[in-house]
Amino acid sequence: MTEPHHDTSRRTVLQATLAGGVGALAGCLTDEATGGDDGASDEFTIGLHSDPTDDDWDAFDYVVPYFTQVVEPLVGVSSDVEPEPLLATDWTAIDDTTWEFDLREGVTFHDGTDLTAADVVASFEATFDHWPWVDGWTGLDPGSTTAVDETTVRFETTDPFPAFPGAISHHYFAIQNHDAADAPVGTGPFEVDTTEDGEVRLVAFEQYRNETPEPSALTFRHLEDDTTRVLSLENGDIDIAHDVPKDQAAAVDEHPETTIQTQVGNHAGLVAVNLYKSPTDDEGLRRALNWAVDQAELVETVLDGIGMPARGPFSSSIPWSIHEELPAYGPDRDRARELVDDSSYDGEELSMLVDSEDGDDSRIAEVLQNWFDEIGVATEIVQVDPASFYDTFVAGEANLTIVGFGSNSAASDYLVRAMFHSRGSDNYQRYEADGTGVYNPGDEVDRLIEDGYRAETGAEKREYYGEVQRRVLETGAIVPLYYDEYVLGTRASVSGIETHPIDKMLEWTELSRTARGDDGA
Partner 1 sequence: MSVLEDARDGDGAGRRQVGRAIVGHLRHNPFTSAGGIIVVVLGVVAIVGPVVVPHDPTTQTLQNRLQAPSLVHPLGTDQLGRDVLARIVYGARYSLGIALLVTAIRVVIGTGVGLVAGYAGGWIDEILMRLVDIQLAFPGLVLALVVAGILGPSLRNVMIALAVVGWTTYARVVRGSVLSIREREYVAAAKLAGTPRRRLFRRHLLPNVVNPVLVIATLNLGTVILATAGLSFIGLGAQPPTPEWGTMLSDGRNHLRSAWWIVNAPGVAIMLTVLGFNLLGDGLRDALDPRQQTKLEEV
Give the DSSP H/E element, type plus range, for residue 485. strand 478-491
> Is 258:252 a contact under the CB 8 Å cutoff?
yes
**What's the chain's length in residues?**
521
C-alpha to C-alpha distance for 54 and 374, rounded to whole angstroms: 43
Task: Find the binder of partner 1 among 130, 154, 363, 454 (CB under 8 A).
Answer: 363
Q: Give the contacts of 441 (CB within 8 A, at least 6 positions apart).
A: 275, 420, 471, 472, 475, 477
Give the nearer residue to partner 1 in terms of CB position, either 383 or 495: 383
Cα R_g (the chain), whole angstroms: 26
Q: Which of 64, 200, 365, 448 binds partner 1 (CB under 8 A)?
A: 365
Please, what is the minimum distance in Å from the beta carbon of residue 226 to partner 1? 6
Task: Provide the residue type at 424 as one letter.
Answer: G
Restricted to residues 292-311, the positions that interact with partner 1 (CB under 8 A) are 297, 301-302
When asked if residue 460 is in the footprint of partner 1 (CB under 8 A), the reply is: no
Q: Is 497 in the site for partner 1 (CB under 8 A)?
A: no
The answer to the question of residue 367 lying near partner 1 (CB under 8 A) is yes
CB of 176 to partner 1, least distance (A): 37
When binding is defined by CB under 8 A, the residue of 97, 146, 235, 362 that contacts partner 1 is 362
- Map the footprint of partner 1 across residues 207-266, applying CB under 8 A: 226-227, 245, 247-248, 250-251
Provide, rounded to whole angstroms, the least separation between the CB of residue 268 and partner 1: 22
Q: Which is nearer to partner 1, 189 or 245 (CB)?
A: 245
Among the listed residues 108, 261, 343, 356, the single contact to partner 1 using CB under 8 A = 356
**How many residues bind to partner 1 according to rule CB under 8 A?**
26
Smallest separation (angstroms) from partner 1 to the CB of 489 = 14
368 vs 266: CA distance, rounded Å: 23
List, in order, residues 6 or more apart from 413 with CB less than 8 Å away: 161, 163, 166, 167, 452, 453, 461
The mark string for 316-355 relative to partner 1 (x by CB under 8 A, - otherwise) is ----------------------------------------
Closest listed residue to residue 226, CA positions, set 258, 253, 248, 200: 248
* Sign of the dihedral through C-alpha 454, 456, 457, 459: negative
Distances in whole angstroms, Cα of residue 460 to Cα of each of 83, 322, 456: 17, 13, 7
Cβ nearer to partner 1, comparing 383 with 425: 383
Please identify which residue in 381, 492, 497, 521 interacts with partner 1, judged by CB under 8 A: 381
Q: Please, which residues have CB within 8 angstroms of residue 364's CB and are 6 or more apart in sequence?
A: 269, 298, 302, 354, 402, 481
CA–CA distance, 397 with 427 (Å, rounded to integer): 12
| Contact call for residue 380 and partner 1 (CB under 8 A) | yes
Residue 89 is a binding residue for partner 1 (CB under 8 A):
no
- Residues 382-401 binding partner 1 (CB under 8 A) are 382-385
Q: Which is nearer to partner 1, 251 or 492 (CB)?
A: 251
Q: Which spans of this chain sit near partner 1 (rule: CB under 8 A)?
A: 226-227, 245, 247-248, 250-251, 297, 301-302, 356-357, 359, 362-363, 365-367, 369-370, 380-385
